[in-house]
């Protein structure tokens, strides 16, 4: 069963807020910008992560140096899962942020 529009927006908003908190709580100089539902994370080395909502598909999209990834929300696990690899968003972010910005973050709970 597909997510309702309201539930989808609530889940994306909650996820973006968690991401903002994780990055804000770090000692790093990371710029965060949210505009029109798109969260942009800019690291010290100039690389970026961009999180956007794709309402018609009910997906959360991630753009990173290593590529673009699409996530569906899995109600059973209460996690965003990559539609290709079935990797959880938090697990993928730990790997991508380490590769891209050479820093370690704990994204458990995403």
**pLDDT single digits (tens) 78-105:** 999 999 999 999 999 999 999 999 999 9
Question: Is CATH 2.30.30.100 the right assignment for the domain spanning 5-101?
Answer: no
C-alpha–C-alpha distance, residues 101 and 103, integer Å: 6
pLDDT in tens, 46-62: 999 999 999 999 999 99
Note the maximum CA span of the chain.
Answer: 41
Burial class (CB within 10 angstroms; exposed 0-12, middle 13-18, buried 19+) of 41: buried
**pTM across the whole model:** 0.93
Structure tokens at 9: 């927006």
3-state secondary structure of 91: helix
């Amino acid at each position: 069963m597909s997510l309702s529009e309201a539930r989808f927006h609530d889940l994306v908003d909650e996820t973006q807020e968690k991401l903002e908190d994780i990055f804000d709580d770090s000692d790093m100089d990371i710029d965060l910008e949210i505009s029109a539902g798109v969260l942009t994370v800019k690291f010290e080395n100039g690389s970026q992560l961009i999180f956007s909502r794709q309402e018609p598909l009910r997906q959360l999209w991630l753009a990173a140096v290593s590529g673009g990834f699409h996530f569906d929300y899995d109600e059973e696990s209460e996690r965003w899962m990559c539609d290709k690899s079935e990797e959880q968003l938090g697990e993928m972010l730990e790997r991508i942020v380490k590769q891209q910005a050479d820093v370690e973050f704990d994204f458990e709970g995403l």
